[in-house]
Amino acid sequence: MQRIAIIGTGYVGLVTAVGFAELGNNVIGVEKDKEKLDLLKKGFPPFYEPRLEELLKKNFENGRIKFSDSVKEGVEKSDIIFICVGTPPLEDGSADLSQISVVSKEIAEHLNGWKLIVEKSTVPVMTSQWIKRTIKLYSKKEENFEIASNPEFLREGSALKDFFHPDRIVIGVESDRAKDILLNLYKDFDCPIVVTDINTAEIIKHASNSFLAMKISFINMISDLCEKTGADIEKVAYGVGLDKRIGIQFLKAGLGYGGSCFPKDVRAFFKIGEIHGLHFGLLKETHKINEQRIERLMEKVKSALWLPKGKVIGILGVAFKPNTDDVREAPSLKVIETLRREGAILKIHDPKAIPNVKKIIEEDKNLKYVNSPYEACEGAEALIIVTEWDEYRGLDLKKVKELMKTPIIIDGRNIFNPEEVTSLGFEYYCMGRGNYLKRKD
């Protein structure tokens, strides 16, 4: 059993905190945001994540996890301190490390005995060295700490599963003492544990996310070629992905990547290259291809509807991917804004993310959030699939057709079987499956 503080209880921090508590450790989560803290102190998570509420409640009730707004309390009552605060993008794409800097100073002020300070937020390589220097500079007592890096690889929507069953654990350390503590913390995990120096660990994280984003942009690039030539991107991805050196995962063409990690990390990694005099043009192109996905969708909308102005369009899905209520950098936001600018009348559904999107885009006479996917279909002249929720895959398409004014589906995530949809009389526009369109002209 270890005494652990988790500074910052966003997605990464809270899942990590609950995970370590579930493994039998004593965890204190430090959160500065009053609204979030109020919920946490009652044992409720401030965001949706499968199993999180159940496991938080359990460990809250058995006393293995508690919450505070005080870094002092977190530091003083623990031996291992995980820094999990946000590193949002600055205007130029680089990571804003100000929260890490503030927390480092606070940790320095309250050190009471030896501590292991572990960086978990995604950060530019060499950030841990800055944390170390900051703590040394601001620590009142003699230095009594070590730093380490232990990057997270948690996907939203399956974050707890990823916590308990990771592909690998990466530990960047400077001493055997730090290594042994972290190996002991992860002793029950059945996966490879990669022990490296700290800079290497930091690069592993950024390189992993950038590579996955690159895979997505690559398949989207090929998807455009499939569209021009009548080939089928789903089959191309399958044929390519079966090569074990490439792998089948993350080859799903569509509206591109969103969320709080990939868009930010790709740009930040490009900047890191620049700082070190290197040109990561591959990542610039990855980002550019991703940005163009919305234009591709809009081309389809215009080819289907001619002018979107005054037309009723149902939008299915606003979360940046299924099984989350997160809309950060979600493709849906750009889709909605673009269609709004074009004067379309929108009926928008999502199973979980409506409260979050409402904070960004308000309802008005031309934009309504609806409670069921069928409601979004009522009187619609086109239906756009933006997020591939299972609920949408199981829609009764006959009913959808009856409800719609004109049976047009624009599927940004290729969730339907083209033969089935077109045989029901829909015009079906999808991504990279050019032959399947059944236009009425």
Catalytic annotation, residues: 261
| Cα-based distances in Å from 272 to 49, 87, 92, 108 | 31, 14, 12, 27
Candidate list 110, 206, 252, 296; residue touching ligand UDX; CB under 6 A: 252
When asked if residue 218 is in the footprint of ligand UDX (CB under 6 A), the reply is: no
CB 431 within 8 A of CB 223: yes
The residue range among 169-177, 178-186, 222-230, 256-264 that interacts with ligand UDX, by the rule CB under 6 A, is: 256-264
Residues in CB range of 343: below 8 A, 6 or more apart: 308, 309, 310, 366
CB closer to ligand UDX out of 125 and 261: 261
200 three-state secondary structure: helix
Closer residue to ligand UDX (CB): 12 or 403: 12
Return the SS3 of 225. Answer: helix
Instruction: Quote the least distance from Cβ 349 to ligand UDX, whole Å.
Output: 18
Which among 2, 214, 17 is positioned nearest to 120, based on CA atoms? 17
262 binding ligand UDX? (CB under 6 A): yes
Q: Count interface residues toward ligand UDX (CB under 6 A).
A: 20
Q: Give the chain's length.
A: 441
Cβ proximity to ligand UDX: between 137 and 225 the closer is 225
Is residue 261 part of the contact set for ligand UDX (CB under 6 A)?
Answer: yes
Stretch that binds ligand UDX, among 70-78, 245-253, 304-312, 417-425 (CB under 6 A): 245-253
Residue placing its CB nearer to ligand UDX in the complex, 60 or 416: 416
| CA-closest candidate to residue 315, choices 328, 326, 301, 303 | 301
Q: 341, 347, 229: which is closest to 294 by C-alpha?
A: 341
Select from 192-200, 244-252, 415-423, 433-441 the region that touches ligand UDX (CB under 6 A): 244-252
- Residues 160, 251, 361, 397: which binds ligand UDX (CB under 6 A)? 251
Using the rule CB under 6 A, give the single segment among 129-137, 208-216, 302-310, 363-371 that binds ligand UDX: 208-216
Contact status: 314 vs ligand UDX (CB under 6 A): no
What contacts 24+ positions apart, CB below 8 Å, involve 125-129? 125/199, 125/202, 125/203, 125/206, 125/272, 126/199, 126/202, 127/97, 127/100, 127/202, 128/172, 128/198, 128/199, 128/202, 129/198, 129/199
To the nearest whole angstrom, how small is the minimum distance from the Cβ of residue 127 to ligand UDX?
16
Interaction residues for ligand UDX, span 355-394 (CB under 6 A): none
Is 29 or 258 the residue whose CB approaches ligand UDX more closely? 258
In 3D space, the residue among 309, 441, 304, 440 whose CA is nearest the CA of residue 383 turns out to be 304
Q: What would the two tokens of residue 416 be?
A: 């339907």
Among 20, 163, 218, 257, binds ligand UDX (CB under 6 A): 257
Taken in order 53, 54, 60, 61, is the CA torsion positive or negative? positive
157, 322 Cβ separation under 8 angstroms: yes
- Does position 236 interact with ligand UDX (CB under 6 A)? The reply is no
**Nearer of residues 254 and 308 to ligand UDX, judged by Cβ:** 254
Min separation Cβ 254 and ligand UDX, Å: 5
Return the residue of 259, 351, 407, 418 that touches ligand UDX, per CB under 6 A. 259
**Interface with ligand UDX (CB under 6 A), residue from 189, 250, 280, 374:** 250
For 435, residues 6+ apart whose C-beta sits below 8 A from its C-beta are 230, 232
Nearer to ligand UDX, 29 or 322 (CB): 322
123 binds ligand UDX (CB under 6 A): no
Q: Is the dihedral of CA 164, 169, 173, 178 positive or negative?
A: positive
Q: What would the x/- binding string for ligand UDX be over residues 137 to 176, using CB under 6 A?
A: ---------------xxxxx--------------------
Q: Confirm or reject binding of residue 216 to ligand UDX (CB under 6 A).
A: yes
CA dist 423 and 363 (Å) reads 35
Among 209, 286, 323, 356, binds ligand UDX (CB under 6 A): 209
Residue nearer to ligand UDX on the CB measure, 40 or 159? 159
Q: What three-state secondary structure class fits 83? A: strand
Q: Is 244 helix (H, G, I), strand (E, B) or coil?
A: coil
3-state secondary structure of 228: helix
Residues that bind ligand UDX (CB under 6 A): 152-156, 209, 212, 216, 250-252, 254, 256-259, 261-262, 320-321
